[in-house]
Structure 1
Amino acid sequence: MNVKSRLFSRPAMDGDGVNIRRVADFNRLLLDPFLMVDEIRSDDKSDFIGGFPPHPHRGIETFTYIRKGGFEHRDQMGNVCAIRAGDVQWMSTGSGVIHSEMPLADAKDGLHGFQIWLNMPAADKMRPARYEDSTATEQRRYENSTGALFYPLAGQWQFEGQSRQGLIQGLAANGAVADLMLAAATADTEAGRASLSLTERGFVGAYIYDGALLGIDDVRYERGEYLLLQSGELELVAANEGAGVLLFAGEPVGEKIVHMGPFVMNTEAEIRQAIEDYQAGRFGKLQASIPAH
């Protein structure tokens, strides 16, 4: 595993007082085509019960993955869906989306999930919005001889020499996301490891959400770190406690952006237009929903 650079997640707050940890780069675009990763993780309802009331987006794609608990998604296109553990949800917001994400009332065991932002190329930023989720799709996880579990969430992957397809296809910039769970060492076995072929990807990244990874000379990379990796044949090795890793791959968009809140466009004028369109009601209207709490 050749680590080119490492970023560190930071505490933040979003929505109606939701506590998160965030890795974001809207300036140097080191994560291109990805822009941001938010991790929500708590067994304390006060950290997330406020959820994310109705808000707009333009010019990005949002990809949500739930590991524990769940959210109810609503948008102005008429989509209403409960996203639960193992589910993913994708919105290509294009010219405009209004949506809300509220914690499910029947989620009793806390919440752990991620929302990922991808940049859209300028040529696609004003196309009609698209929505898809995996709630009706079979969840498939793949295990290797070390007990590593690979869960392809989006795009195409090569895991242990086999092609594996994610739950959702068609993300911007050939984006791909996967969850890799590496087993802890035992008295009889070493910690888990896994091989992935990423030779033709312009961007490869890994966010550690559990345990730790070992790099060259047994350098430890800990929970909360986002690693920018060299593309190629990738060998991921867990420390003794095991590791949980969210993997990212894609092709950099390579365009200058302007970011303001929920909008990511290419010029200041486009940002002003997005604000004007939203304030004028041109994004549509979200049907009122009853808060989950």
Structure 2
Amino acid sequence: MRVIQRFSALAAMDGDGVNISRVSDFEQLRFDPFLMIDEIKSNDEQDFIGGFPPHPHRGVETFTYIRKGGFEHRDQMGNVKPIRAGDVQWMSTGRGVVHSEMPLADANDGLHGFQIWLNMPAKDKMRPPIYQDSTQCIKPQQSNEHGATLTALAGHWGFNHSLEFIDGPIQGLAGEGAIAELTLNEHGYGTLNLERYHTAFVYIYQGEIHYVDEQGLRETSGEGQLLLLDAVELCHFQAEACGAGLLIFAGNPINELIVQMGPFVMNTQAEIDQAVRDYQQGLFGQIE
């Protein structure tokens, strides 16, 4: 596989003092339609106990995947859901959502999860919000004989030249976005064909993978690194001795300039200013 660029997650803090690792690009939009990947990974509840009290969003889609522990989600649409290990959740916030995400009281073994942001096309930014989750779904998987297992989280996926495709429990992400998890055992490997997409990248949350760069040199990347890929090239993922866990992202660029301020992602500064006024005037609603 051809790696175009490599990024490293940076330590950040959000919500009520939640420690996260973040890769984002709101300016050059190199991950378009994706904007940001936040990872929470800690066995110390002090890193996440404050959670994310009520806050707004407009013009952005949020996709949450929990691997360990969980959050309780509440929003002004009346959704109250525990999102636990193995669950995914998607909000296409459109003209406005107010929600909170607070650690579950019975999730006392630490927390490991991700929140991914996607841009929305300008034509959809003021539509009514949409909420979906996978709490009642079984996420489809495909495994091969080489120690690799692909779990579809969103979108449409094929694995290892299989003629059978699997669909994630969430469909309809902006930019035809698709998200999957790939786990590799010791020296495991698997192959994905992503040529139908213009954007493809992988985020490594565990272990290491190796690949050959454009100069023919062998490179290794590990936890907290994001590899932007050439989607035209066949993507071959090979783990080292410690195995690996990856999130794989694919989609098609929206190709629109954006303006971002905190939880709002719009196309002009005037639209950002309007979002702030609307929220301050209570037009987003409130959590009951």
Output the TM-score relative to the length of structure 1.
Answer: 0.95
Return the offset for 1:150.
0.8
Q: Which runs of 5+ in 1 are unaligned?
A: 185-190, 288-293
Q: Deviations over 1:120-161 (max 9, x none)?
A: 000100000000000001133221101211111000011122
SS at match of 2:193: strand
SS at match of 1:28: coil
**Residue in 1 aligned with 2:219?**
219
Question: For 1:1-293, what aligned pairs fall within 5 Å after superposition?
Answer: 1-160=1-160, 161=162, 162-184=164-186, 191-216=187-212, 217-232=217-232, 233-287=234-288
Instruction: Quote the Cα distance in structure 1 between the aligned partners of 2:237 and 2:181.
Output: 13
Instruction: Quote the Cα distance in structure 2 between the aligned partners of 1:179 and 1:139.
Output: 11
SS at match of 2:271: helix
Q: Deviations over 1:64-109 (max 9, x none)?
A: 0000000000000000000001100000000000000000000021
Task: Give the counterpart letter for 1:173 in structure 2.
Answer: G
Task: Give the counterpart letter for 2:261 in structure 1.
Answer: M
Instruction: Quote the Cα distance in structure 2 between the aligned partners of 1:32 and 1:211.
Output: 26
Instruction: Quote the Cα distance in structure 1 between the aligned partners of 2:110 and 2:151.
Output: 21
Instruction: Quote the Cα distance in structure 1 between the aligned partners of 2:228 and 2:99.
Output: 31
SS at match of 1:30: coil
Task: Give the counterpart letter for 2:77 in structure 1.
Answer: M
Instruction: Quote the Cα distance in structure 2 between the aligned partners of 1:138 and 1:93.
Output: 25
Q: Is the Cα–Cα contact under 8 Å of residues 158 and 165 in structure 2 kept in the other structure?
A: yes
Q: Is the Cα–Cα contact under 8 Å of residues 139 and 153 in structure 2 kept in the other structure?
A: no
SS at match of 2:285: coil
Instruction: Quote the Cα distance in structure 2 between the aligned partners of 1:139 and 1:30.
Output: 29
SS at match of 2:36: strand
Task: Give the counterpart letter for 1:167 in structure 2.
Answer: P
Q: Which runs of 5+ in 2 are unaligned?
A: none
Task: Give the counterpart letter for 2:48 in structure 1.
Answer: F
Q: Deviations over 1:145-200 (max 9, x none)?
A: 0121111100001112231111110111100000000101xxxxxx1001111111
Q: Deviations over 1:5-50 (max 9, x none)?
A: 0111000000000000000000111111000000000000000000
Instruction: Quote the Cα distance in structure 1 between the aligned partners of 2:141 and 2:108.
Output: 25
Once superposed, which parts of structure 1, at least 4 consecutive aligned residues long, lie more than 6 Å away?
none
Return the offset for 1:222.
1.3
Q: Is the Cα–Cα contact under 8 Å of residues 140 and 167 in structure 2 kept in the other structure?
A: no
Question: Identity over aligned residues, as a percent?
Answer: 59
Instruction: Quote the Cα distance in structure 1 between the aligned partners of 2:259 and 2:77.
Output: 26
Instruction: Quote the Cα distance in structure 2 between the aligned partners of 1:130 and 1:22.
Output: 25
Task: Give the counterpart letter for 1:147 in structure 2.
Answer: G
Return the offset for 1:218.
2.7
Instruction: Quote the Cα distance in structure 1 between the aligned partners of 2:222 and 2:32.
Output: 23
Return the offset for 1:58.
0.2
Instruction: Quote the Cα distance in structure 2 between the aligned partners of 1:173 and 1:124.
Output: 12
Q: Is the Cα–Cα contact under 8 Å of residues 119 and 265 in structure 2 kept in the other structure?
A: yes
Mean Cα deviation higher: 137-146 or 268-277: 137-146
Return the offset for 1:4.
0.3
SS at match of 2:99: strand
Task: Give the counterpart letter for 1:195 in structure 2.
Answer: T
Instruction: Quote the Cα distance in structure 2 between the aligned partners of 1:198 and 1:271.
Output: 34
Instruction: Quote the Cα distance in structure 2 between the aligned partners of 1:192 and 1:167.
Output: 26
Number of corresponding residues: 281
